[in-house]
Copies of this chain bind each other. A is one copy, B any other.
């Protein structure tokens, strides 16, 4: 027996914000943005709605490599890059690796139904800032 979900103003605004940005912000960042439209919004509401949207398969939660989770308005699998310096998460337009799950299944007894690939390094913006700072 599944619960009926309502599209509240809060949930809609949260989803709109997430769909409108190219980056993958944290709950806290989304909270600060949404408060410009709903000043009395509470952070708990942001977390609750993000979890609902994730459970519905409407958004993706990216939760490794740093303390806070990042959220991605696109639900289909794709790959990401995270900056070791600023923690920012960016999309990486690399095609999905085909058959890798089948290949991985073949060598053990686990049932594999998903994979995730993340890259790490220094992002373009942090590289630029470094170059600027060393020219003093």
Shortest beta-carbon distance, A40 to chain B, in Å? 26
Shortest beta-carbon distance, A100 to chain B, in Å? 8
Residue of B nearest to A113 (CB): B121
Number of copies: 2
Segment at the interface with B among A2-10, A31-39, A86-94: A86-94
Shortest beta-carbon distance, A52 to chain B, in Å? 17
- Please determine whether A111 and B122 come into contact, CB atoms closer than 8 angstroms: yes
Interface footprint category on A: 35 or more
Residue of B nearest to A101 (CB): B119
A window 86-136: CB within 8 A of B: 90, 92-94, 97, 101, 103-104, 107-124, 127
What is A's interface to B at a CB cutoff of 8 Å?
Answer: 61-67, 69, 79, 81, 83, 90, 92-94, 97, 101, 103-104, 107-124, 127
